[in-house]
Chain A
Amino acid sequence: MTYSMKTKKQQVLNLAGWTWSWVATLALATFGPQFIWDDHQLLTILFVGLNFANGIAMVIANRHFFNSLDELQRKIQLEALGITLGLTVIIGITYSLLDTTNLIGADAEIGFLVGIIGIVYMVSTLIIRKRYA
């Protein structure tokens, strides 16, 4: 795929749309059983499935976004993803270890790791972009 600003903008909007709809279906699947449909199992299964399908669509949108980037932008994203993967594994394992050895009071939650992924990815992308500016 060739690079063009229009294509990139379209792919960013497409990815943003799928990301927000994934967040919305996740919220529905999480809080719906308790606050909306009173633990109706079929509805819960339906919304969990919808959230999963939405997640797949988000991954495909992310792939299209990467393919709309030019070679330097892809290099920046690749470096940021590499740093994110490495740091997530290290932080995740350490966090789990803190939990299993009872060095922290609370249980290790997956949400914490997802938050870390987002923060590390954002920060590393900004730093690497600055390096090539």
Chain B
Amino acid sequence: MRNKLKVLRAEHNLTQEQLGKAVEVSRQTINAIEKEKFDPSLVLAIKLARLFKTEIESIFIYAKD
């Protein structure tokens, strides 16, 4: 799944470490999501959306192909 997490994080001047702490995951997990190697759970996606005050669909783009 594609995502705009890196862009949003940069816009909010957050490091991966700080973002991880804010949503209660490790820096490695944030890094894996940004590199699109790992899709987060619904709970984590909601936490990220709430943190950036946006909808899940604005961060994560589901493309079938």
Contact = CB atoms under 8 A, between A and B. Distances in A.
Interface stretch (A59-67, A68-76, A96-104, A107-115): A68-76
A90 B40 CA distance: 33
B interface, size bucket: 10 to 19
A43 B64 CA distance: 65
Nearest to B17: A5
Interface string B6-45: 0000000000000000001110110110000110110010
Interface residues of A, number: 12
What DSSP secondary structure best describes chain B's contact surface?
loop
Interface in A77-133: 131-133
8 contacts: A3-B24, A3-B25, A5-B26, A70-B29, A131-B37, A132-B28, A133-B28, A133-B31
Interface string A33-73: 00000000000000000000000000000000000001111
Contact of A132 (B24, B32, B41): B32
A80 to B, nearest CB: 15
A25 B15 CA distance: 45
A73 B24 CA distance: 13
